[in-house]
Amino acid sequence: MLSKHERASYCNHYWEDQFKKVSLLEFSHDRKMMTVLCSRKQMEIMFSKGAPESIISRCTSILCNDDCSTIPLTANIQTELESRFHSFAGKEALRCLALALKRMPMGHQTVSFDDEKDLTFVGLVGMLDPPREEVRNAILSCMTAGIRVIVVTGDNKSTAESLCQKIGAFDHMGDFGGHSLHCF
């Protein structure tokens, strides 16, 4: 009975109805994350999403079971999470986001940068955003014309390198990993 748009938006609308937004910290390049404080049934919860390296470093526990129990985020677990993230970003060329949450005191009406610590890690999301077919030929045309091609992106370094390899943009360089920089 629902239209395609309504079906696609159903889950989003459901969760928007469940949680009332109270406060928001917009995404910033220095933090590489965003945070929203929500209220639901006499409970205040802060949700954060962003670059895995930014989110994971702010987490002290991990959500791990169907009963919503948590365990401490140990160095071994953190290493495993980072390994999976690098596999998603590098080998699979996925754009990755990490998700975390934190219960806040009742009545909390604002969220600050200082609140973005002692988070509970929830999960990783990998999104496939394949390059357009014309990208490789555009890069090759530029190079043939004597134009030095430089790729600048907000993506993770591993993701950017993997995407460049997939489109064959810098095949003439062989391993271009040493030419890749991380500026943040």
52 lies in the same domain as 76: yes
Dist CA 88 CA 124 (whole Å): 9
pLDDT band at 159 (very low <50, low <70, confident <90, very high): confident
Q: What is the CATH number of the domain that holds 67?
A: 3.40.1110.10
- Count the Cβ atoms, other than its own, within 10 Å of residue 163: 21
DSSP per position, the chain: ---HHHHHHHHHHHHHHH-EEEEEEEEETTTTEEEEEEE-SS-EEEEEEE-HHHHHHTEEEEE-STT--EEE--HHHHHHHHHHHHIIIIIS--EEEEEEEEEE-TT-----GGGSSSEEEEEEEEE--PPPTHHHHHHHHHHHTTPPP----SS-HHHHHHHHHHHTTTGGGS--GGG-----
pLDDT at 90 over 70: yes
Of 59-63, 65-69, 107-111, 149-153, give the range with the top mean pLDDT.
59-63
* Pairwise pLDDT comparison (95 vs 71), residue with the higher score: 71
pLDDT at position 108: 85
**Shared-domain flag, residues 48 and 94:** yes
Q: Is residue 7 part of a domain?
A: no
Please indicate, yes or no, if residue 66 is contained in any of the structural domains: yes
Say yes or no to pLDDT of 158 above 80.
Answer: no
Mean pLDDT of 154-168: 75
pTM to 2 decimal places: 0.77
Do 138 and 114 share a structural domain? no
Residue 178: the pLDDT is 66
Considering the domain architecture, whether residues 33 and 74 belong to the same structural domain is answered as yes
For range 30-48, the mean pLDDT: 93
Q: Which range of residues forms the domain containing residue 157? A: 134-179
115 and 39 within one domain: yes
Query: Is position 14 within any domain?
Result: no
CA 83 to chain centre: 15
| Residue 184, domain member (yes or no) | no
pLDDT at 20 over 70: yes
pLDDT in tens, 112-151: 999 999 999 999 998 887 778 888 888 888 888 988 888 7
Number of domains in the chain: 2
pLDDT of residue 31: 92
Residue 52: inside a domain: yes
Confidence of residue 38 (pLDDT cuts 50, 70, 90): very high
Residue at 9 is within a domain: no
Please tell me the predicted confidence (pLDDT) of residue 12: 84
